[in-house]
A and B are shown apart, each in its own frame.
Chain A
Amino acid sequence: MRSLVNKTLLAATLGMASITHATTVDVTFNIPQPDAERYAKPYVAIWAENGRNAEHLLVWHLQGEKDKWLSDLRRWWRKIGRYDHQMDGLTGATKGPGQYSKTFEINDEWDTFTLYFEAARENGGRSLMKTQIDTTDGHQQYRIPAEDELGDILITIN
């Protein structure tokens, strides 16, 4: 509701007659089941970047005091993790192999941004995947092909 008000205000101040921008992003992705002798659930982070600004969306990591490995999500760590961002409600425990769907609200002042996905697994690989999203060009679906630590990612802009 708040974002709708924001959008309306923005449209009004800019005198825009066009429809409001899409800011809701549905993301479907897959955590693969690798053939690993000592499998550990991967750390996963999702965030959006616009220039030097970053908006945190999700991080799955080991909970509790013992967590020493967040900095292994290299890019996420540099852009978000190492700064004290407010992340309540945007973190969760690590998840095993399977299909996951998430819906995010992205800063609606951003017409274009890059959506990042990073996954790192102990004794395993690390994948950094991204796609640029333009909310003004009518393009509604994006697909990022699978890498080692994350399967195909399907992104739908609403």
Chain B
Amino acid sequence: MENLGPAVTKLLEELNPFAVLGKGAAPGVELAKNAVVLTNYSFFLIVAVALTAIFFLIASRRMTLVPKGIGNIGEWGVEFVRNNIVLDVMGSEGVKYLPFIVTVFFAVLFNDFLGLIPGMKPGTGTLGTTFAWGIMVFVVYNWVGIKKHGLWKYLKSFLPAGTPLVLAPFIYLLEVISHVLRPFTLGVRLYANMYAGHIVLGIFGIFVVMAAAALGPVTAVVAGLSLAMQIVMYAFEVFVAFIQAYVFAILTAVYMNGAIHAGEH
């Protein structure tokens, strides 16, 4: 067991992005922040996004009054987001933002799921993606708020009605900070869940391999238990993948709803 440390280090290194296209395209090569490359995460992100688009394009061409097959699955997905996220959080007013929220939900979901296939990575397993989408949500919901109320009124709405004048600057600053933090919390939450999930699966994988290689009655039991744990954790990761997509989409809806109803509370 003396090589557990190096194995874990190797696992962590393997989770770092590397370029598959562009300068320095090889596993393990550290990338400059501004390098013009396509990373392995970006590659699988494009695959997942393409699969999402293809799936929904096919589903949307298979619409029948009595739902069946792939059309039924696509419909069920859209209906789930519409009823359980958009209508629940935003009410009927939110229906016009359905395309955005559906895209957010399924982009995250397909990426999370793709990363669970051995040998592939989740596009959402890198901060580049999760921060970008967090910032995008931030821009979109603020834009919705400004468009609805006008810039001045929207900015004013950050200050709750009836705040004592003395406290106003302090409260306002807090509100602004809480808004500015949103894209980062969105990004980090998703990234950390994917990252941690893959580490857990990787660690149990290492246990299985190392314990099995040690060839002993005790290590055989350890290997078996680790394998069982890995299967359980894999199922759990499928659940996490769904939950994270749900959380990302529902927070997007909550932020948008807040922007639409800015100044009403």
Do A and B interact?
A: no
